[in-house]
Amino acid sequence: MIHKATFILVSMILTILLTAGCLSENTLTLTVTPATSHYLASSHPSSQSPTIPAYTIRAYVIKVIDGDTIDVSFPNGTIERIRFLGVDTPETSASRNKPNEYDHITDLKCLASWGIKAKFFTEDVLLNKVIYIEFDPKAGKRGYYGRLLAYIYLENGTDFTALLIKKGYARVYTEGDFLKEQEYMAYQKSAESKKLGLWGCEIGKYADTSTEPTLTHTATTGKVVIINVHYDAGGPQVRDTNKLNDEYVVLKNQGSVPVNLKGWRIMDEAGHTYHFPALVLRPGQEVVLHTGSGTDTSHDLYWESKRAIWNNDHDTVYLYDSQGRLVDKFSW
Q: What is the Cα–Cα distance from 16 to 20, expressed in whole angstroms?
A: 6
CB-count burial class (<10 Å; 0-12, 13-18, 19+) for 228: middle
**Within a 10 A sphere around the Cβ of 38, how many other Cβ atoms?**
17
Q: What is the Cα–Cα distance from 198 to 108, expressed in whole angstroms?
A: 11
Catalytic residue among 147, 171, 192, 247: 147
Catalytic residue list contains 58: no
Catalytic residue list contains 142: no
Q: What is the Cα–Cα distance from 16 to 11, expressed in whole angstroms?
A: 9
H/E segment holding residue 193: helix 181-193
The string of DSSP letters for 151-180 reads EEE-TT--BHHHHHHHTTS-EE-TTS--TT
Q: What is the Cα–Cα distance from 41 to 290, expressed in whole angstroms?
A: 38
Using H for helix, E for strand and C for coil, what is the string for 58-115? EEEEEEEEECCEEEEECCCCCEEEEEECCEECCCCCHHHCCCCCCCCCCCHHHHHHHH
* Per-position b or e across 70-98, b if 16+ CB within 10 A of its CB: bbbbbbeebbbbbbbbbbbbbbbeeeebe
Catalytic residue among 58, 81, 91, 247: 91
Catalytic residue list contains 239: no
Residue 214 per-residue DSSP state:
P
Catalytic residue among 58, 80, 81, 83: 83
The residues assigned a catalytic role are 83, 91, 147
